[in-house]
């Protein structure tokens, strides 16, 4: 039984040490998601993980390494862009995975770590790298769509920001649920806008 | 000389008391913007404001009241939507004011206070009310545009989220500067998308 992306690797070889490490990483993610990195202390991590404080220090002498390793576990929760051959469906599916991810503390912590005002350059670099990998998957999907004539030439970065920006805003505010109908309206509007504003050659 | 929205009311009638209150409010905004509300302590506010801790307690026995009053000073920094008769220009101008605002600690603090995960319901309600007022200004501008035939019938909420979502994402990530060209491309794409996807009657 291999672990899925949503499970912590509590049973990997290594026994008790590995289990303690996994508990510490899970506690770190929870605290960072709750209070940000500025508000997180080793004492709290140890308490929440149910381990001695020395276990935290012994495994991660450096705060930033602890945070980075904790966040990197959740890369897969960010979702990627599939290729079923149907661009609209693939983008709508991606927005749904993104909206569910943004509702989870793990992904929220990753998201917060990418903020320009983030106090730790090392943590921000690690989090940004994760989002860049996701952006690269979007870029490959858009390139395929352009090669197939589904889409005129577009600016990948802005295209990605146009479809995912509203999702971030809606989910983060939390004033209304994000639905599949929202995802479809966003994708349809952006696709129609791209087609209407790009001169066909 | 009336104070502008960007100045603290340091000279309003009341002399020393008013000045102390203004210093405390400014310090609170700075700390909330830096560490979030969970990380902010009265001792730090007093130190940053250069006042005695008792001055903070005497004026605001309640933490949340202090935060709400501090944030409410900056409502005007959020920008509103003008009506010059040129919808595209008004929306582009609005996105530029928004992008500049999101780069300031005051507006960032307001923004963070609206997050669904925010720990204080009272603070979140106050911050959300501010953003709702701004959304109402957008709604009035869109209604005017529809009445003038500049725009087909649209969903106000989604329209606002579609144009401001990408701005939040770009400015918060801080990976590249937000330019007027970005604002123009976002507005043009959304306007074209709305016109292409709304059936004309």
Across A76-85, A192-201, B72-81, B157-166, the highest mean pLDDT is recorded for B157-166
Distance in angstroms (rounded) separating the CA atoms of residues A114 and A94: 20
Mutate to test the interface with B, among A33, A117, A191 (most CBs of B within 10 A): A117
Pick the CATH number of A15-72 from 1.10.10.1100, 1.20.1250.20, 1.10.10.60, 1.10.10.10: 1.10.10.60
Pick the CATH number of B75-197 from 1.20.120.1200, 1.10.390.10, 1.10.10.10, 1.10.357.10: 1.10.357.10
Q: Is the pLDDT of residue B2 over 80?
A: no
Q: Assign A107 to helix, strand or coil.
A: helix
pLDDT band at B25 (very low <50, low <70, confident <90, very high): very high
* Per-residue confidence (pLDDT) for residue A50, from 0 to 100: 95
pTM higher than 0.80, yes or no? no
Q: In this predicted model, which residue has the larger pLDDT, B136 or B196?
A: B196
| pLDDT tens sequence across B43-62 | 999 999 999 999 999 999 88
Distance in angstroms (rounded) separating the CA atoms of residues A33 and A39: 10
Q: Is the dihedral of CA B116, B118, B124, B128 positive or negative?
A: negative
Closest Cα to residue A168, out of B166, B113, B69, B85? B166
CATH 1.10.10.60, chain A: domain bounds: 15-72
**Residue B156 Cα, gap to closest chain A Cα (Å):** 13
Distance in angstroms (rounded) separating the CA atoms of residues A99 and A172: 9
Smallest CA–CA distance from A189 into chain B, residue: B193
* Per-residue confidence (pLDDT) for residue B77, from 0 to 100: 64
Average pLDDT over residues B115-134: 78
The per-residue pLDDT of chain B, averaged, comes to 84
Please classify residue B175 by burial: count the beta carbons closer than 10 Å to its beta carbon, then call 0-12 exposed, 13-18 middle and 19+ buried. middle
Chain A residues close to B189, C-beta within 8 Å? 162, 190, 193-194, 197
Segments in chain A below pLDDT 50: 1-11
Distance in angstroms (rounded) separating the CA atoms of residues A183 and A178: 8
CATH 1.10.357.10, chain B: domain bounds: 75-197
* Per-residue confidence (pLDDT) for residue B129, from 0 to 100: 79
Q: Is the dihedral of CA B38, B42, B44, B50 positive or negative?
A: positive
Q: Is the pLDDT of residue B101 over 50?
A: yes
Q: Is the pLDDT of residue B187 over 80?
A: yes
DSSP-based helix, strand, coil % in chain B, nearest 5? 70, 0, 30
* Per-residue confidence (pLDDT) for residue B72, from 0 to 100: 79
* A:104-143 residues touching chain B, CB 8 A cutoff: 105, 108, 114-117, 119, 128, 131
Question: Can you spell out the DSSP letters for A170-192?
Answer: HHHH-SS---HHHHHHHHHHHHH
Average pLDDT over residues B96-103: 88
* Per-residue confidence (pLDDT) for residue B82, from 0 to 100: 87
Number of Cβ within 10 Å of residue A20's Cβ equals: 19
Q: Is the pLDDT of residue B99 over 70?
A: yes
**Residue A13 Cα, gap to closest chain B Cα (Å):** 36
């Amino acid at each position: 039984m291999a672990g899925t992306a949503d499970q912590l690797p509590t049973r990997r070889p290594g026994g008790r040490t590995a289990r303690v490490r996994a508990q510490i990483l899970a506690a770190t993610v929870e605290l960072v998601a709750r209070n940000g990195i500025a508000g997180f202390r080793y004492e709290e991590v140890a308490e929440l993980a149910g381990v001695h404080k020395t276990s935290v220090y012994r495994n991660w002498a450096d705060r930033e390494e602890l945070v980075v390793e904790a966040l990197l576990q959740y890369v897969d929760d960010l979702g990627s862009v599939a290729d079923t051959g149907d661009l609209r469906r693939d983008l709508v599916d991606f927005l749904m995975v993104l909206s569910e991810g943004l509702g989870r503390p793990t992904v929220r912590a990753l998201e917060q770590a990418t903020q320009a005002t983030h106090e730790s350059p090392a943590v921000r670099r690690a989090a940004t790298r994760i989002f860049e990998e996701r952006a690269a998957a979007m870029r490959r999907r858009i390139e395929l769509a352009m090669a197939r004539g589904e889409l005129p030439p577009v600016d990948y970065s802005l295209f990605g920001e146009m479809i995912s920006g509203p999702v971030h805003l809606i989910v983060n505010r939390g004033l209304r649920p994000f639905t599949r109908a929202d995802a479809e309206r966003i994708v349809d509007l952006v696709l129609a806008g791209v087609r209407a504003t790009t001169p066909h050659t």
